[in-house]
Chains A and B, each alone.
Chain A
Amino acid sequence: MATISAAERLQAIPARRARKRAGWLAIGVACLGGAAALGLFVGPVHLAPVEVFKKLISVLPFVRDTSHLSAQQEAILLQLRLPRVVLAGLVGATLSFSGAAYQGAFRNPLADPYLLGAAAGAGLGATIAIVYTHAGTSSNLMPVAAFAGALVAVSLAYALGRAGRGQRTATSLVLAGIAVMSFFTALQTYMQQRKSDTLREVYGWILGRLTTAGWHDVLLILPYVTVGAAVILAHRRLLDVLTLGDEEADALGVNTRRVRLIVVIAASLSTAAAVAVSGLIGFVGIIVPHIIRLIAGTSYRVILPLCITFGAAFLILADLLGRTMLAPAELPIGVVTAFFGAPFFAIVLRNSRKML
């Protein structure tokens, strides 16, 4: 009898874990919903929550539009606030799950989405676009240039990241990323100093911005972000196996180099797309995954889905603070994520009894 009950107890563990995951996911979705609602209601022009809700559900088929928003209010809601909230959510989710993916692929808790030089490459691309084009065209060109720059930097880091024996170890890749990052940052600084009249615009981009967010930005990054998230989520079990290190994961029949390559490509593509439209928003890719590790669990089956909901909610709230605190001026969102994220992270870290 004792062995039967022990076996049943074990069979119950996956179901219990699934329930716990579902519980956290429900909390995450609720947070995301709350953050999105706040992002839509709050702003210089007051929009009544009920009217906003009526307007939003009228987008669905067979639902009549019964809202009483003026044309101007409707434009503010649908052309300004909604795309901005959606974009902040997409960027926050992307930076968070890419950060978690890098941390798993490199087995390094300090890895962030910019690890392999995506940020420096995007910065160089954006600076080139700002410095060498006319003011009117640069805003259209900037996302494309930043995206291209990020991909060039990551590819370069990957190509350089072969150690002496021709093997790409996690450490050799990280070191190659640092070399590429330093080189691209130097190039970027050189260009920006030569044309000091554009300094303000370049810095504005580097500190992160969602000010000009529109539906075209959302459409631009949506394919990359969706595919990247799907690929990384599909590898969540294998990322757990990778926590044993390459040697033991190989001994369990996992092709570690292939898994790492696929995960890194997916995370880099998504990050490049996010950086292209939002600039450099720091800290999200490190703190969101780690807060989830501390409160909800360390398996990537828990971390990755929660990164999407909590990451999105976090950045929507950060953007809300950024545009309301000094209104009508805007605080760069990168400043907000660090200013509120760092102390919050420190508190969670201090109060956690879990080992990372």
Chain B
Amino acid sequence: MNAIEVRDVSVRILDATILQDISLDVPAGEWVGLIGPNGAGKTTLLRAIAGLAPYQGTIRLDENDVARLSAKQRARMVAIVPQRPVLPPPMTVFEYVLLGRTPYIRYFDTEQRHDIDVVGRALDRLDVSAFADRVLDSLSGGEQQRVVLARALAQEAPILLLDEGTSALDIGSQQQVLELVETLRLTDGFTVVSAMHDLTLAGQFAHSLALISHGRLIAEGEPADVLTEETILTHYGAAVRITHDDYGIIVAPVRAAGARRPRELQP
């Protein structure tokens, strides 16, 4: 069964076409990576799936039309981790993660015992329980990223959308966060769609990749089929060498052909 079905989705903002006729299926429990150069439309596609950007076409979440869901129903089905989350400096980790329970609280009501239990489990899963009383401002980048994930986890939505959440982190923290997401996917059965800049990480973590360029879906399929030296040169304008290991693909940037001169030929 598909957790997400995107059919002929286009997004126009004023006169600019951001996405053009995108169709994409994400099977339940799988990890799909969205790749493509800056400005390709990856973020807009994630926002459309989360019901945050107006679009033409159809998007279904577990066979429910996103456009027909109420804001609360939608927020219970899909959690999004934005590229640059707003972290109000004086808010504590506990208060911040508790905001993830918003879709379950009635308009004039407040959080119940159960909500705090869910928050506690989310903090434990991401190993940030020790910071519960710390203010967001005092955390490192990697810790903040885990806290934002904890908030998404507290939302108890089966679909997790990650918008290049790790690109600002050092490589150790990047790996740690992505391994955490993978663990959550395996144990809790999340469906994950993540926009990724690092093509090696994309090739290692995602089951399948969708390459978007200039608002169009260029290629879709297994990482080995999508990540080729030609497509990356065409759409990113980057020269790379592709190798493989046990977990998947390694994409290494190298100097472009025109600029590359063997050392011995240099004057």
Residue of A11, A252, A299 near B113 (CB, 8 A) is A11
Residues in B neighbouring A13, C-beta threshold 8 A? 94, 116, 132-133
Residues in A neighbouring B259, C-beta threshold 8 A? none
* CB–CB A245/B71 < 8 A: no
* CB–CB B117/A7 < 8 A: yes
* CB–CB B95/A299 < 8 A: yes
Closest to A254 in B: B102
Do A250 and B82 contact each other (CB < 8 Å), given the known contacts A10-B132, A165-B14, A241-B99? Answer: no
Q: For residues 220 through 251 of chain A, which have their beta carbon under 8 Å from a beta carbon of chain B? A: 234, 237-238, 240-241, 243-245, 247-251
**Nearest Cβ distance between residue B151 and chain A, in whole angstroms?**
9
What per-residue 1/0 map shows which CB atoms of A318-356 lie under 8 Å from chain B?
Answer: 000000000000000000000000000000000000111
Q: When chains A and B are docked, how far (Å) is the Cα of A245 from the Cα of B80?
A: 14
Closest to A10 in B: B120
Q: When chains A and B are docked, how far (Å) is the Cα of A14 from the Cα of B133?
A: 12
Q: When chains A and B are docked, how far (Å) is the Cα of A293 from the Cα of B111?
A: 22
Total B residues in contact with A, Cβ cutoff 8 Å:
44
Q: When chains A and B are docked, how far (Å) is the Cα of A6 from the Cα of B113?
A: 14
A3 at the interface (CB under 8 A from B): yes
Residue of A10, A251, A356 near B94 (CB, 8 A) is A10
* CB–CB A356/B71 < 8 A: no
* CB–CB A243/B91 < 8 A: yes
A67 at the interface (CB under 8 A from B): no
Residues in B neighbouring A234, C-beta threshold 8 A? 108
Residue of A3, A165, A241, A247 near B102 (CB, 8 A) is A241
Residues in A neighbouring B123, C-beta threshold 8 A? 10
Closest to B85 in A: A248
Do A253 and B120 contact each other (CB < 8 Å), given the known contacts A10-B94, A248-B86, A355-B89? Answer: no
Place the interface of chain A in its size category: 20 to 34
**Nearest Cβ distance between residue A234 and chain B, in whole angstroms?**
5
Most central of A164, A255, A298 by chain B CB within 10 Å? A298
B147 at the interface (CB under 8 A from A): no
Most central of A3, A6, A9, A251 by chain B CB within 10 Å? A251
* CB–CB A10/B14 < 8 A: no
Q: For residues 81 through 99 of chain B, which have their beta carbon under 8 Å from a beta carbon of chain A? A: 82, 85-86, 88-91, 94-95, 99
Q: When chains A and B are docked, how far (Å) is the Cα of A304 from the Cα of B99?
A: 19
Residues in B neighbouring A245, C-beta threshold 8 A? 86
* CB–CB A253/B129 < 8 A: no
* CB–CB B111/A248 < 8 A: no
Residues in B neighbouring A253, C-beta threshold 8 A? 70-76, 102-103
Residues in B neighbouring A9, C-beta threshold 8 A? 132
A-B contact pairs, 15 of them (CB 8 A): A6-B124, A7-B117, A10-B123, A11-B116, A11-B117, A13-B116, A241-B102, A243-B91, A244-B99, A245-B86, A247-B82, A248-B86, A253-B76, A255-B71, A298-B90
Interface positions of B (Cβ within 8 A of A): 13-14, 50, 52, 70-76, 79-80, 82, 85-86, 88-91, 94-95, 99-100, 102-103, 105, 107-108, 110-111, 113, 116-117, 119-120, 123-124, 129, 132-133, 135, 137, 155
> 9 closest pairs, A vs B, by CB?
A253-B75, A253-B103, A253-B72, A252-B102, A355-B89, A10-B120, A298-B90, A253-B71, A245-B86
Task: Please give 7 more A-B residue pairs, beta carbons under 8 A apart, in addition to A11-B120, A249-B102, A255-B71.
Answer: A6-B120, A6-B124, A13-B133, A251-B79, A252-B100, A252-B103, A254-B102
